Amino acid sequence: MGLDGARVLVVGSGGIGATAVRGYLDAGARVVLVDLDQSRLDTVAAEIAAESDSGDAGARLSTIQADLRVRGAGAAVVGEAIERLGGLDVVLHCVGVNDRRPILDFTDDEWDRVLDINLTTAFAVAQAAGRHMVAQRSGRIVLLSSVSGLLAHKNHAPYAASKGGMNQMARVMAAEWASSGVTVNTLAPGYIETPLTEAYLAKPGIREDLERLVPAGRLGIPSDVVDAALFLSSPRAAFITGHVLYIDGGRTLV
């Protein structure tokens, strides 16, 4: 993939984030992983160190605990990653929460919480990374969106708004930074089996109902998303920017 020696920042250590870290490390990259939850960071780092026969992968991973909802935290994290890695070539933002309730049930604070976590943290990290990448005239930014940014799922209002906003934000970033060799793309998965969806999928009949909506006949797994992220992070995707890539087994076709 041409990612050997790449300097990568992954934001979010959940199911997709942890799988992405392994993918980047397997490709030879050096990775800084950021999350709010220190225990989850420690778990991912320990698992990767244990999985590496030579210990090399574990040595190429470092972690930062940070609350990216705090103003200025995104820029601070990007700055720390650049200092540790000696630069920055790739950013993958895969932080997200959902709150499945009717629109009429949300308070202002509950709405703001989802938008802050899903969209505002992506803006802060991508903006700070963009400043560095535009100056060095190269870089890849990949943001984790969702099919909910396109489809009008009931009981998904703040989540859908955050992902639709992310898609348009990324397109504007892509337009502004393309001449500097910086690409910005979003990945829009359908339902992926991760900790974010685990409880919902465990409810009676939910998994079966969702699988019936997917022409491929199954739900996604984290590696489905990560394979696409690695491609968009690589030199092979140098002429792809401003794109929303649906990873949904055909869900958005029907």
Residue 68 contacts by C-beta under 8 Å, 6 or more apart in sequence? 11, 34, 36, 74, 77, 95, 121, 124, 125
SS3 category, 110: helix
Domain residue extents for the chain: 7-240
CB atoms near residue 199 (< 10 Å)? 9
Torsion over CA: 37, 203, 209, 152 (sign): negative
Task: Render pLDDT for 172-214 as a digit per residue (tens, 0 to 9).
Answer: 999 999 999 999 999 999 989 887 788 889 999 999 999 999 9
In the predicted structure, residue 54 carries a pLDDT above the cut 60: no
Question: Rounded mean pLDDT of 11-21?
Answer: 95
Closest to 16 measured CA to CA, from 241, 246, 242, 222: 222
Question: Rounded mean pLDDT of 67-71?
Answer: 97
Task: Render pLDDT for 24-49 as a digit per residue (tens, 0 to 9).
Answer: 999 999 999 999 999 999 999 999 99
Respond yes or no: is residue 159 known to be catalytic.
Answer: yes
Give residue 128's pLDDT band: very low, low, confident or very high (50, 70, 90): very high
Question: Rounded mean pLDDT of 150-179?
Answer: 97
In whole angstroms, what is the distance from residue 220 CA to residue 239 CA? 27
pTM, to two decimals = 0.95
Largest pairwise CA distance in the chain = 54
Q: Which CATH architecture has domain 7-240?
A: 3-Layer(aba) Sandwich (3.40)
In whole angstroms, what is the distance from residue 207 CA to residue 204 CA? 8
- Across the chain, what does the average pLDDT equal? 95
> What pLDDT sits at residue 3?
97
Give residue 53's pLDDT band: very low, low, confident or very high (50, 70, 90): low
| Active-site hit among 24, 159, 191, 246 | 159
